[in-house]
Amino acid sequence: MTAYDVLFDRVATRIDPERAHHLGFRAIRAAGPVLARRKQPGAPVHALGLTFPNRLGLAAGFDKNAVGIDALAALGFGHVEVGTVTGEGQPGNPTPRLFRLTADRAVVNRMGFNNDGAEAVAARLAVRGRRPGPVLGVNIGKTKVVPDDDQAAVEADYAKSTRLLAPHADYLVVNVSSPNTPGLRNLQAVEKLQPLLEHVRRTADEVTAARVPLLVKIAPDLADDDVLGVADMALAIGLDGIIATNTTISRSGLASPDAEVEAVGAGGLSGRPLTARSLAVLRLLRGRVGPDLTLVGVGGITTVEDARDRLDAGADLLQGYTAFVYEGPGWPRRILRGISG
């Protein structure tokens, strides 16, 4: 048992999860200058036309407002994906909205894209400027008040975020797979998703001198045929990559007592329970798209074996979030040492 395990079990679990997140993130930012002196672990990897310092990144959701990119990279992450950022700032869903299922090493969140909005985040990234270090991904989503059945309004909302944020991003991700914004997952239907991605692509090209890679993040709850449909669409429109997968609304096979799960309520489940399905989705995608499209494996990666399984299944890059919460700040380097050996 590590010192972090003791701290997590005896202290962190007694604190509201959202408050614990803010306290932990504040500590990481404070330690950033000291952590930055350490050598970046892992070997460089080429993907999306970019050179990543290593294969492991931090998934969107941890740094929603782009306030700790370099401190997080100093822990070992080769890329940091900020967001999800929406066209308009919004407070998200009522609290409490973040919960632990410790028996499953899982988290349930119904945050609802709480963030400062595209204008504020773009201004923050402009001040940071371009610099050596982690590859920066920017994840964009739908503002809650925009109706999902108004395609023109949806496209305009994503376009606003794209115009403001694409000039600062090394790659851009369209998030249509969070379960916590009403109607968002409806946008995963290819007939809605394809024109949205094409609109984002055109908008990004209008505001950047060099082409910014564009990816889409999908849910593990898609049926296999729908996963393959997204793969076919990605190839048809020249998408640069797919991130598989986001959180799940499923509660099957959990070790946590039913009463505890019911008390937590709705939201996206992340962590160990996603491992098998996220791996299966990745295999489906790689089998369909062939060797060239970039695939990012995320969801339930906790151990070195999990990471290796994802790479063996065809992932070019990996991301984590929930394991980082449960395993602590040494987790990125442990994973990278394990997959480099």
What is residue 34's predicted lDDT score, i.e. its pLDDT?
83
Catalytic residue among 161, 178, 256, 270: 178
What is residue 23's predicted lDDT score, i.e. its pLDDT?
92
Find residue 336's DSSP bridge partners. Answer: none
Among the listed ranges 76-85, 123-132, 269-278, which one has the minimum average pLDDT value? 123-132
* The length of the chain, given as a count of residues: 341
What is residue 246's predicted lDDT score, i.e. its pLDDT?
93
What confidence category does residue 11 fall into, taking pLDDT thresholds of 50, 70 and 90?
low
- At 76-115, the pLDDT tens digits run 999 999 999 999 999 999 999 999 999 999 999 999 999 9
Number of structural domains in the chain? 1
26 pLDDT higher than 70:
yes
Known binding residues are 60-64, 84, 109-113, 139, 175, 180, 217, 245-247, 271, 300, 321-322
12 pLDDT higher than 70:
no
- At 301-315, the pLDDT tens digits run 999 999 999 999 999
Is 192 in contact with 216 (CB distance < 8 Å)? Answer: no
Q: Look at the alpha carbons of 51, 70, 110, 276 in this order and tell me if their dihedral is positive or negative.
A: positive
User: In terms of residue numbers, what domain contains 270?
Assistant: 3-340
What is residue 1's predicted lDDT score, i.e. its pLDDT?
60
- At 143-194, the pLDDT tens digits run 999 998 899 999 999 999 999 999 999 999 999 877 767 776 777 788 889 9
Helix (H) and strand (E) counts for the chain? Answer: 12, 13
What confidence category does residue 2 fall into, taking pLDDT thresholds of 50, 70 and 90?
low
Closest CA to 295 of 218, 185, 201: 218
H helical segments located in 11-64: 17-35
Known binding residues for substrate are 64, 109-113, 175, 180, 246-247
Is 172 in contact with 166 (CB distance < 8 Å)? Answer: yes
- CATH number (domain holding residue 232): 3.20.20.70
Hey, what amino acid is at 328? G
Closest CA to 244 of 281, 291, 194: 281
Residue 199, token pair as written in the block:
């609109």
Indicate if 256 belongs to the active site.
no
What is the distance between the alpha carbons of residues 88 and 135, in angstroms, rounded to a whole number? 25
pLDDT above 90 coverage of the chain, percent: 84
- Which parts of 87-170 are beta strand (E)? 98-101, 106-109, 135-141
Provide the 3-class DSSP secondary structure of residue 173.
strand
First to last CA, the chain: 23
3 pLDDT higher than 70:
no
Q: Give how far Cα 272 sits from Cα of 221, 242, 299, Å.
A: 15, 21, 8
6 pLDDT higher than 60:
no
- At 201-241, the pLDDT tens digits run 999 999 999 999 999 999 999 999 999 999 999 999 999 99
What is residue 13's predicted lDDT score, i.e. its pLDDT?
66
